[in-house]
Structure 1
Amino acid sequence: MPDRNQAALDFLLTRRSRPSKTLRAPAPDADQLRVLLTAAARSPDHGKLEPWRFIVLQGAALQRMADAVAACGLRLGKDEETRAKARAAFADSPLCVAVIEVHKPSEKIPALEQTYSAGAVCLALLNAALADGWGANWLSGWASHDRGFLTEALALGENERVAGFLHIGTETSTPPDRPRPDLDAITTWLSE
C-alpha cells in the first residue's frame, strides 16, 4: 500500500467552493497570497512552458474592473440585472486573482494541453486557498470571453485569455452542500 495523506484526501473529498458574493475582507496579504500562488504554479505543465500567469486585483483595481465589466455588458447588450451581477463580483470582492492562459508556440505541446494546464492552475489556486482556511470561488463569466474586455480591462495580448477569476477572502456564511455526480453513471471500468 502507498503512503496515504489522509488529511489531504479528506480535504479533497469534502472541499466546497464558497460563493463569491459571501466573501469579504480580510483577504490574504501579499505574503500569504505568494504561498497560494506558489502552490498553484506547481500544477501539471507539459513541456515546462508555463502557459499561464497571474494578475492580482485588489483595491482600486477591483473597482476599475467592476466598471469595465459593466461597460462591456452595456456594449454587448446585457440587461441591467446581468450587468449588475457581473459588476458586483468585482466591486464586492476583497481580492481577485486573474489566471491568464498564455498560449506559447510549441511543436510538442498542443494549445489544448496548455489550456488544460491553465485550468489546473485555477483549481490548484482554489484548493490552496480553501486548504489555507480562506473562502474562494473560481468564476469566469461572459466578459472573460470578450476580446474587447480582455484588451481594455486587462491589457491582454492576442495569445492570452482569462482561464478564471479566483475570488479569495473571508467567508461570511457556509453554503449548503450541493448534489454530487452519480459516480456509477459517469464511470466506465475496462479491464480487457
Structure 2
Amino acid sequence: MFNDLSSPAAFLATRRSGKPRDMVAPGPDSAEMREILSTAMRTPDHGKLAPWRFVTIEKDQREAFAEILHSAYRIDKEQPGRLEREAIEQFAHQAPSLVVVLYSPREDSKIPLWEQELSAGAACMNLLSAAHARGYVGGWLTGWAAFSDEVRDAFGAAPEKIAGFIFLGTAGAELSERPRPDYDDVVSAWQPA
C-alpha cells in the first residue's frame, strides 16, 4: 500500500520513526522487502562501491539472534541482571521485520572512507523512506550491540561495522512528532568574508 500524498515533499514530511517495541504485524512480505531493499540501494555512492550490505533476520531466526546478543553482552558483564536480559530478549524479538545494515568499507579504493560511511547512512535512510512508501513504519537503532565486535562477527567481519538495526512493521501506537531543530538555527546563507 503506497501512501497517497499530494507531493514528494509532503510524503517525506510525514515520515516518522516508530518505536520497534510498538510495531505489530504485518511487516513487509518477501516481495515487499525485496522492493524496499532494492530502493535502499539507490543511494548516493561515489565510486559505485556499494560500501554497505543488508542482512535480514527472519522471524524463525530471532531466537538465535537473541542468543548471540546474550553471549556478546556477557563478555563485558558476566552476570547480567534480569532487566538487562529482558531488554536483550525484547530487542531481538521486537517488530515483525529486522534488517541489519553493515557498513562495508572498500579500503583499497581512492574514495575516502568518510564518503563511504556517509553512503551507508544514506542507504539506511533510503530503507526507512522506502518502507514508509509501502505503508510501513521503521525504526533505526544502534546501542551497544551495534558496537560489539562479537555481534558484528555474526553478520560479517572487520573492517565492517554495524550501521544499524532497522526494524520494520505496522505502527501499533500513534507515531509522535519529535522536536525538530529551528530552521534558522541550522540553515544559513554563506557570505564571503
TM-score normalised per structure 2:
0.88
Cα deviation 1:86-116 (Å, max 9, x = unaligned):
3312212311011111111344201111111
CA contact (8 A) 2:136 2:169 kept: yes
1:19 equivalent in alignment to 2:14: no
For 2:88 and 2:187, the matched residues in 1 are separated by 35
- Correspondence for 1:118 among 117, 120, 124: 120
Structure 2 residue aligned with 1:167: 167
For 2:89 and 2:142, the matched residues in 1 are separated by 13
CA contact (8 A) 1:45 1:114 kept: yes
User: Aligned ranges for residues 71-150 of structure 1 at < 5 Å?
Assistant: 71-77=71-77, 79-150=81-152
The one-letter amino acid of 2:184's match is D
For 1:33 and 1:189, the matched residues in 2 are separated by 40
CA contact (8 A) 1:104 1:159 kept: no
Instruction: Give 1:34 deviation, angstroms.
Output: 0.8
Number of aligned residues: 186
For 2:86 and 2:64, the matched residues in 1 are separated by 14
Instruction: Give 1:38 deviation, angstroms.
Output: 1.0
For 1:81 and 1:25, the matched residues in 2 are separated by 25
Which consecutive unaligned segments of at least 5 residues does structure 1 have? none
* % identical aligned pairs: 34
CA contact (8 A) 1:69 1:83 kept: no
Cα root mean square deviation, aligned: 1.8
Moved more, 81-90 or 101-110: 81-90
TM-score normalised per structure 1:
0.89
- Secondary structure of the corresponding residue to residue 47 of structure 2: helix
CA contact (8 A) 1:46 1:113 kept: yes
Instruction: Give 1:70 deviation, angstroms.
Output: 2.3
The one-letter amino acid of 1:126's match is L
CA contact (8 A) 1:22 1:173 kept: yes
Instruction: Give 1:119 deviation, angstroms.
Output: 0.5
CA contact (8 A) 1:39 1:128 kept: yes
Instruction: Give 1:141 deviation, angstroms.
Output: 1.3
Instruction: Give 1:135 deviation, angstroms.
Output: 1.5
Instruction: Give 1:162 deviation, angstroms.
Output: 0.8
